[in-house]
Every structure is written in C-alpha cells, then in structure tokens.
Amino acid sequence: MNYYHLKNYFFIFLLTTFSACGENENTIEPIITDISVISAVNSITFTNSSDLIQKLDNSLSYNYGLALDEETEKQQLFNADSTQVTASIGFKLAFQSSYKETNTLNNSVIIELFKEIKTPTPSGVELKADGPGNTYALITSVLAPGHDPIEVPDCNHTIFGNHIDELFDSELNTNVFRFFMHTTPDNDRCINFDRQRNEIKSYGPSPDNLLGIENETVVYKWKLKLSVGFQSSPNFTHIHQLKSVGGDLEDMPMYTLTTRKGNPDRIELRYAETDNQITLTQTDLTPFLGTWVSITETIKYGTAGTYNIEIKKVSDNAVLMAYSNNSIINWRANANFVRPKWGIYRSLQNPQDLRDEEVLFADFSITELD
C-alpha cells in the first residue's frame, strides 16, 4: 500500500471517529414521566348530549407529569350504542420521543353510560284567570267550548251583572276568579229558590279529558280563599263537588267539600257511596279564612278506587286538612262519567246565618294520569 492510500485511510478513520463522537454528544435522553387520566365516577346517567359532555368534563381529571398540557392529546371514544366511553391521554406524535412513560395502564379509563328516559309529565287542562273582562267566555273556552258550563244566579239579579269576574291578587301576584253570592235575591238559576248556586263545571259537552271515567285516575288542583268572617249555612255550603252523571244516584254528589256553621264552624269532606252521605274528615274552618290555600285531589274512579286530598296554606305549605283512602268505591251503577264543580252552592233554609260573600278561586287544573 503506497503513501497515498495510507493517507486516505487515515482521513476516513478520523472522519468516522469524529462523527461518532458528535452523535453521542447530541443524543438527548427521553424524560421519564407518568401521565394519566382519572374519573371521579364509574358511571354517568345523562339526559342529552350536552348534559353528557358537561358531566364528563366534571368527572375527568388529567395528570401531565413532567409534560405540558399542549404536548398531550386527549380522546373520548364511545362504543356503538353509547353505553360506554373510553377517555384516554397520550403524547402527541411530535413529543413521543421526548418522553418515556413509566405506566401506560393509567392512560385510559372506561365509564359506563346510562341514558335517562324521562316519562312525560301528563299535561293537564288549566283554567287561569287572565284579567278583568270576558270572564264567562274564558271559562267556557276551557271547560266546554261552545256550550254553557257556568251555573250562575244572574237571571234573578240582572242589575248586579255577572256573578263571576276576575281581579288581580297581590298575594298570589296573579289574576284570580271572584265568585259573588248575595243573600238576596240570588237563587239557583231561577229553578230552585230554597238554595243558591254560583258554580262552574265540566259536563256532557265538555272535552273527554275533563270527564272522569271508570278505571281512570284524575288529579284536580285549584286554589281557594275564603274571606275573614265567612259565614256558612248550618245545612250546607258546598265549595267543591264531584258528581256522577248517569244512573239513579246522579243527584247525590260522590264527594263534596262543604263548610258548615257550628261550634266552631268547620270544613267537611263528605262522601256518598250511594244515596247517603257520611263525613270522612272535618276540621276547624278558622285557619282557612283570610288566606290562600292550595288543594290537590287525586281520585281513581272504579269500584276498587282510591282517593286522596290535601289542603295546604300557600304561604308556608302548612297542611290544614288531609285524607287518604286506598280502598273505596268511586263508581256507581250505570254512571257515564264523573264531573267536577267549583264555586258556592248553599242552602237558604237559614238565611239569617248567611251574608253576602266573595269567594276567590285560582289556577284550576284537571290532569288524567291514566
């Protein structure tokens, strides 16, 4: 080998040696760290996609170890039927060589998902006062469009005008219905003169969902205010009735809420399986006077019926009267349907015990549950 060849070999040797040394000096060891994802829950119940996203964000937390947030990528992979999601964290491609994971088992977490299926709340029929004027038309439009669901003493007291109107009530902060009754000359629609009637009702021409039928459960709700000093007949002063229509017993109310003069005056829940009424419960009338009460009455119509009523003060939800019966006959032979009535219906047999009254009602609703 001549001198020229030896010099070339030596030059190549030097280049190779220096190159290897340079590579070793520039090599950066990956940073050893641990990134992870943790879920505060094992399962999530959600109603819709936005609800699910919010709940996932609230339940998941990420640990970046020695890495930066922007050097990682987070994913949420859902299975085909969205009953499970896998949340994971990893390094972005550009940073995978810069870090060495010490534990990849905690880079993902599985969460079970349950879609909440809400049973629609039955939508009832509501009758709400909307301000003075056209009160009879409003009541008719809800309870029996095109017909006459109003039983008032206007015929014998035309100079007074309509015996039901509307006004704004500051306690409820809404419009309410006002029912008038005068000791004289008001009567029962110029038909009966030993009693007085000012009531609204559903009846035959009313929509079907305002009539109770056998094996159906119905919820009736309304608000009521009797004035301070309210005077009741010792015979009867009905403020609510449930009456069956059809059959031999339709003249006798099935249920009534009635006030009665006594010592003290009282409010009674009356019931008649046939043609004889009994008192299911009663209580002192005094706490009911001068305050708004909210009444909820739930009845399952049928020979194996149920009944529940609760009367509470609107101001503090204090229960003033309640009754419940899980086995009571709420259907009569040959009945077609049951209808509700609200208002003032009182005896005139002892007129000296009565006075002119204004009874306030608000927020009627009838809801069929099944």
Q: In Å, what is the CA distance from 176 to each residue of 80, 219, 354?
A: 54, 20, 24
For 288, phi and psi rounded to 5 degrees? -85, -15
Q: For strands 108-115 and 43-46, give the pairing.
A: parallel
For 93, phi and psi rounded to 5 degrees? -50, -40
Helix (H) or strand (E) holding 293: strand 292-300
Q: Along the 370 residues of the chain, how does pLDDT read in single tens digits?
A: 444 444 444 444 444 444 444 444 567 899 999 999 999 999 999 888 888 999 999 999 999 999 999 999 999 999 988 899 999 999 999 998 899 999 999 999 999 999 887 666 677 899 999 999 999 999 999 999 999 999 999 999 999 999 999 999 999 999 999 999 999 999 999 999 999 999 999 999 999 999 999 999 999 999 999 999 999 999 999 999 999 999 999 999 999 999 999 999 999 999 999 999 999 999 999 999 999 999 999 999 999 999 999 999 999 999 999 999 999 999 999 999 999 999 999 999 999 999 999 999 999 999 999 7
- Residue with token string 């009160």: 135
CA dist 212 and 219 (Å) reads 10
Burial (CB count <10 Å: 0-12, 13-18, 19+), residue 196: buried
List of domains in the chain? 29-115 (no CATH), 125-368 (2.60.120.200)
For 304, phi and psi rounded to 5 degrees? -115, 70
DSSP string for residues in 15-30: HHHHHHHHHHHH--PP
- With 0.85 as the threshold, say if the pTM is over it: no
CA dist 258 and 256 (Å) reads 6
